Chains A and B, each alone.
Chain A
């Protein structure tokens, strides 16, 4: 079962990209890949450290708008703009969340909800960089070797490479002493503190890394769909990326990828019935929280361990 899921997660995007090469379904795969990247980043903070960052989408949005500004207004190459935009987003996210990081889980999450709402309001009502609710259109694709925008299916392959790199990064991080410290904090922060672990410092480090990944996803997303609007980086988006991690399997490497692959395409498949996606996501949140807190892949792992 475990192998089946891994194969599904890895093979489906690649097969779709290589065989279909272009069109609507390849686009959906691209969207799913970006959400896989996002989910992996959020998993670092939620699955491995135990914090729910409801500011995640807002941070992605800051990166998106910064990257767009650097590319469209300042003429920078996307490949420079992306890391800069992500770094800006990570720093801003940190500054806003710094006081909240030392709070207990619930208060951290609530603070995140507030900060995210403030960020969305800022996106809408300070249109200098964001063009408010109207949004920014005609955002160009990242430039390839020929100096022009990367077309499908190469763009999707680039996205897949980003996902692979992110997953590898998370995997390596979790093998370090830092990674083990995060797990101890997730399991019991009071015990961790009593054993000499600086909980706040480690959480902050995890927050920065996680936010940077959110930013990478944000920059890629805006330049992939060619559009940016405040609603795309709102609190429900943070919640829905959290859902992808939770439903897929928090604290595992494959879980977030699975959750993203299953959930991210929904709004696009539902077309004009997008409101149904809200109902589906909401119901999924309830079901996962009540019956399957370890997620699908987490459940499969547990079942496998027993036998």
Chain B
């Protein structure tokens, strides 16, 4: 039996009295593009934070390619092969474009020469064609999102977790971003959080629906769209 890429088993996380995640079970197979949707505050970002090690879960188990990453420190999880982006793009605003991508290699084993080569390749991969010395903070949102991708790809992650990657982009940029993410499927596993149905349905093989920290549905996008409770939850928000 082949190993799953990611296994989250009965993962729970509470903040004081607030149960952010209640016994979440999620499995992602290799080569599968998994999506997670849910209303604001349903626990999506908490889930990514817990999987990537930024937050420690209260209970459960988490495995990457069969190896346990449960409660491992964030930098260890990153080195094991999980890279994540942030809802509000996180880059080093005061450093150059090249330095931003190179930074993604600092925590990993590779020589400076290799890193520079890979950095240029990653930037080409995401289609970011700007001066390498340009200050990253001066880039527009779409370029910054792509820079964030490049800084993750340089470490050749096994799993790339994207937290609302199309937030704030115009329709043309969203189309381009969807195409980019599609093309990245062959390189690493992709996990996307979104609250826009359209993006999820055009990309995901499977969708997990999270509501109030609980998993509501786990199925193909088409099945999820027809699911009665999902319709109830999203009724009136006009996102479908």
Contact = CB atoms under 8 A, between A and B. Distances in A.
Any A–B CB pair closer than 8 Å: yes
Interface of A: 177, 180-181, 183-184, 187-188, 190-199
B155 A180 contact: no
Contacts of B92: 184, 187-188, 191
Interface of B: 52, 54, 73-75, 78-79, 83-84, 90-95, 99, 102-104, 106-108, 112, 151-152, 155
Nearest to A183: B95
A195 B150 CA distance: 12
Contact of B107 (A187, A188, A190, A196): A196
B54 A194 contact: yes
A181 to B, nearest CB: 5
Given A177-B106, A180-B102, A181-B106, A187 B54 contact: no
A196 B155 contact: yes
30 contacts: A180-B99, A180-B103, A180-B106, A181-B106, A183-B95, A184-B92, A184-B106, A187-B92, A190-B90, A191-B90, A191-B91, A192-B107, A193-B74, A194-B74, A194-B90, A195-B75, A195-B78, A195-B103, A195-B104, A195-B107, A195-B152, A196-B75, A196-B79, A196-B107, A196-B108, A197-B75, A197-B106, A197-B107, A198-B75, A199-B75
Q: Which of B54, B75, B104, B152 has the most CB of A within 10 A?
A: B75
Given A177-B112, A197-B75, A198-B75, A192 B52 contact: no
Contacts of A188: 90, 92
Main secondary structure of the interface of A (DSSP, over half): helix
Closest 5 CB pairs of A and B: A196-B107, A196-B78, A197-B107, A187-B92, A196-B79
Nearest to B80: A196
Given A181-B107, A193-B75, 11 more contacts: A180-B106, A184-B92, A184-B106, A187-B93, A190-B54, A192-B107, A195-B83, A196-B75, A196-B78, A196-B79, A196-B106
A191 B99 CA distance: 14
Contact of B151 (A181, A190, A195, A197): A195
Nearest to A199: B75
Contacts of A197: 75, 106-107
A200 to B, nearest CB: 9
B107 A198 contact: yes
Contacts of A187: 92-95
Contacts of A195: 75, 78, 83, 103-104, 106-107, 151-152, 155
Contacts of A181: 106-107
A184 B106 CA distance: 9
Contacts of B112: 177
Contacts of A191: 90-92
A183 to B, nearest CB: 8
A183 B92 CA distance: 10
Given A177-B112, A197-B75, A198-B75, A192 B103 contact: yes
A197 B108 CA distance: 8
Contacts of A177: 106, 112
Given A187-B94, A188-B92, A194 B84 contact: yes
B103 A184 contact: yes
